[in-house]
């Protein structure tokens, strides 16, 4: 009898291992600059893919019976054919998976900033700004192996005051495209973590004001700027729905709001793609 039980147990384990993984919640696909590409690769087997888009490592995971790559598409990406480069295991065979990107026109937004120093910083400000840019870049390029949650809750409720991707003109001077989603809300409104994550950067930044970066895993990073206060510390693990700070008007702003950015494989992408449409 004991032998039969052991045999049945072994058969059950083999059956569970052979069963395909359940489908996961993925962000919505948008095949334009600033969007997200969902690239289906080979059927699931014992060899995990190692994917890159350009020089950046790409998030891969099992979705049903296939491996898929979730690729962040830079705002600077040109329309046309692009390829995801994949190696099957360390030192294994290589493959490429093509996909097509359509062009997208992002409108221009004219903004008047009363504090002219936030548009044309003093020479003494530049050393601080350059140091902060290095910290921001390191946070955006951070990689951890933890599998992320790919559907986010809204960090706050409010009125959209600045769309992602808009070409920004401050006091008549063109600047970089808008890297996030601005949501206007009263100062002091609680900002909640949209998913589980690790605080990898925070502090008071010249342009971004009080700022937090969360690592959600495998190159998925989110950032929260212009806060009136920060309620978490670097190295702290946060859970979905946990308060991480409060809305404010610090840094380069015209009023209280949350600037919410999402990065994937080092590229800022449309945050709305990670939020359920309802």
Instruction: Please provide the DSSP assignment of 32-55 as one string.
Output: STTSEEEEEEEEP-SS-EEEEETT
For the chain, how many structural domains are there in total?
2
Helix (H, G, I), strand (E, B) or coil at 75: coil
pLDDT of residue 28: 96
Is the confidence at residue 1, as pLDDT, over 50? no
pLDDT of residue 188: 98
For residue 35, give both structure tokens. Answer: 């969007």
Q: Are 256 and 250 in contact (CB under 8 A)?
A: no
What are the pLDDT digits (tens) for 227-259?
Answer: 999 999 999 999 999 999 999 999 999 999 999
For residue 85, give both structure tokens. Answer: 């480069």
Mark whether 258 and 178 lie in a shared domain: yes
Which CATH number do you get for residue 47? 2.60.40.1590
pLDDT of residue 23: 64
Q: How far is CA 232 from CA 14, 199, 223, 239, 243, in A?
A: 44, 7, 13, 11, 8
Average pLDDT over residues 92-110: 91
Mark whether 175 and 216 lie in a shared domain: yes
Mark whether 167 and 186 lie in a shared domain: yes
β 108-111/167-170 pair status: parallel
Confirm whether 15 is domain-assigned: no
Mark whether 115 and 236 lie in a shared domain: yes
Confirm whether 8 is domain-assigned: no
Domain boundary residue among 75, 101, 127? 101
- What count of other Cβ atoms lies within 10 Å of the Cβ of residue 216? 26
Would you place residue 119 in the very low, low, confident or very high pLDDT band (cuts 50, 70, 90)? confident
Confirm whether 155 is domain-assigned: yes
Domain around 36:
21-101
Q: How far is CA 172 from CA 65, 111, 120, 167, in A?
A: 52, 8, 12, 12
Confirm whether 10 is domain-assigned: no
Q: Are 180 and 261 in contact (CB under 8 A)?
A: yes
Average pLDDT over residues 45-59: 93
Which CATH number do you get for residue 197? 2.70.70.10
Average pLDDT over residues 196-200: 98
Mark whether 126 and 258 lie in a shared domain: yes
| Total-model pTM | 0.88
**Which of these ranges, 45-49, 144-148, 151-155, 172-176, has the smallest mean pLDDT?**
172-176
Q: Give the whole-angstrom CA distance, residue 134 versus residue 236.
A: 21
pLDDT of residue 10: 40
Mark whether 97 and 117 lie in a shared domain: no
Q: Are 121 and 180 in contact (CB under 8 A)?
A: no
- What count of other Cβ atoms lies within 10 Å of the Cβ of residue 79? 13
- Computed over every residue of the chain, the mean pLDDT equals 89
Confirm whether 11 is domain-assigned: no
Domain boundary residue among 70, 101, 132? 101
Mark whether 132 and 245 lie in a shared domain: yes
Q: Which long-range contacts (CB under 8 A, 24 or more apart) does 45-51 make?
A: 47/88, 47/89, 47/92, 48/89, 49/86, 49/87, 49/88, 50/86, 50/87, 50/88, 50/89, 50/90, 51/84, 51/85, 51/86
Q: Does residue 152 or residue 2 have the better pLDDT? A: 152
Confirm whether 95 is domain-assigned: yes
């Amino acid at each position: 009898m004991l032998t039969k039980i052991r045999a049945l147990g072994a058969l059950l384990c083999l059956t569970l291992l052979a069963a395909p993984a359940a489908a996961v919640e993925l962000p919505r696909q948008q095949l334009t600059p600033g969007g997200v590409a969902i690239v289906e690769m080979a059927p699931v087997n014992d060899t995990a893919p190692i994917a890159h888009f350009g020089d950046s490592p790409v998030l891969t995971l099992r979705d049903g019976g296939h491996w898929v790559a979730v690729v962040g598409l830079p705002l600077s990406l040109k329309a046309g054919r692009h390829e995801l480069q994949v190696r099957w295991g360390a030192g294994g065979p290589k493959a490429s998976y093509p996909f097509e990107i359509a062009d997208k026109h992002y409108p221009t937004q004219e903004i008047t900033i009363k504090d002219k120093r936030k548009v044309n910083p003093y020479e003494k400000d530049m050393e601080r700004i350059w140091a902060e840019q290095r910290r921001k870049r390191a946070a955006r390029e951070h990689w951890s192996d933890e599998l992320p949650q790919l559907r986010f809750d809204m960090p706050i409720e409010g009125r959209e005051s600045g769309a992602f991707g808009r070409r920004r003109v401050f006091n008549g001077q063109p600047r970089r495209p808008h890297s996030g989603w601005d949501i206007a809300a009263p100062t002091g409104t609680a900002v909640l973590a949209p998913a589980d994550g690790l605080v990898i950067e925070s502090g008071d930044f010249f342009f971004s004001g009080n700022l937090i970066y969360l690592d959600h895993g495998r190159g998925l990073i989110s950032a929260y700027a212009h806060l009136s206060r920060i309620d978490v510390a670097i190295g702290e693990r946060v859970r979905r729905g946990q308060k991480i700070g409060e809305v404010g008007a610090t840094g380069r702003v015209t009023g209280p709001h949350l600037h919410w950015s999402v990065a994937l494989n080092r590229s800022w992408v449309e945050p709305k793609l990670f939020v359920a449409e309802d």
